[in-house]
Structure 1
Amino acid sequence: MFSQLTNFGYERTGKQALGFYLAYLLLVLLVGGIAGGIAGVITGGEDHEFLMRVGGGIAILVCLLLAVLVVSAKGLWSSFLAILLVLAAGGLAAVLGALLGLIPVAYLSTVKSKNAEANIQTL
């Protein structure tokens, strides 16, 4: 069940894409919160705007990374739409964090793979 979360070449259904979205949203919130907490300890926690930027930066990086991993695993680099969605993931994450940035990533996870190896399901 959880092994498919890290199989970025797996073609998900709509319901599975929603689960993928929610799982990675929780992960980004946790990682961003931890990074913000560490930055707060280092800086003394006085500048809350800085701590929010740290969490936002983490969201942008993770959304871009996940989009690149999905597109790479599915062999979609020749698709203009896939490249546009990778860029959209970063842009939307810059606007409202992982809440918006993971939407293109979840959609990309439903696209059929062009790689034969990605279609082989792992146990």
Structure 2
Amino acid sequence: MKRILLTMTLLLLSLTATAEGDYPFDPVGVWRIAHGDGTPILITARADGRATSDWDQGEEGTWTFEGERLHFAWSDGWHDFIYREGEGFAKVAYGPGAPLSGPPTNRTTAEKVK
């Protein structure tokens, strides 16, 4: 019985490590970023790939990883990318229609708060 319990525990731990290992950092939770004018924005990244923010009337979108960057694609056409920078995180944003390979529309810090 102890051997079965140990085997099951190890199996669950390995599955958890594999799931978390798919991303360079855990995206799920609440992130604090700032608008280009400095206004704070809270983003919630859900486990199912959906995202919401408290900007304006509230935005909806999706998140994915592109390489080492967490990409939020918003319903209003904006794109935010969060990535590791030094000991913390940074965010770059691209306005509607801006090429994602070009210079960002704005850049601020990012912090995971939950």
Give the TM-score taking structure 2 as reference length: 0.28
Q: Which has the higher strand share?
A: 2
Q: Which has the higher helix share?
A: 1
Tell which has more relative contact order, 1 or 2 (C-alpha 8 A, sep 6+): 1
Larger Cα-atom Rg? 2
